[in-house]
């Protein structure tokens, strides 16, 4: 019960603040969220680097098998 009252008071305090301050508050909140998502996305990319290498290796392997023995289809690949 006490917790509910406290949260209500908190909301009231935020609503009583004038409009510019509230804008500032919301902007700060948005900015924090944005930074958080940026960090998460960067982390995601960094953690997945090995996976990207694996995919590249797989594709390279596939193309080697497909084109290495076919000079008619893909003559440039022979010299690699």
Distances (CA, A) of 27 to 22, 33, 37, 63: 9, 10, 15, 50
The answer to whether residue 8 sits within a structural domain is: no
pTM over 0.85: no
Whether residue 14 is contained in a domain is answered as: no
Task: Give the pLDDT confidence of 11-49 residue by residue, as tens digits.
Answer: 555 556 666 666 667 777 778 888 888 888 888 888 888
Q: What share of the chain is helix, strand, coil (3-state, %, to 5)?
A: 85, 0, 15
Domain of 58 in residue numbering reads as 19-79
In the DSSP assignment, the letter for residue 41 is H
Please report whether residue 56 resides in a domain. yes
pLDDT score for 59: 80
Q: For the chain, how many structural domains are there in total?
A: 1
In a domain, 9, yes or no: no
């Amino acid at each position: 019960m006490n917790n509910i009252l406290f949260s209500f008071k908190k909301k009231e305090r935020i609503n009583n603040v004038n409009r510019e301050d509230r804008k500032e508050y919301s902007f700060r909140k948005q900015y924090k969220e944005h930074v958080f998502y940026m960090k998460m996305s960067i982390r995601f990319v960094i953690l997945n680097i090995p996976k990207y290498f694996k995919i590249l290796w797989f594709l390279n392997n596939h193309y080697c098998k497909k084109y290495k023995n076919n000079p008619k289809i893909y003559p440039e690949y022979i010299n690699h």
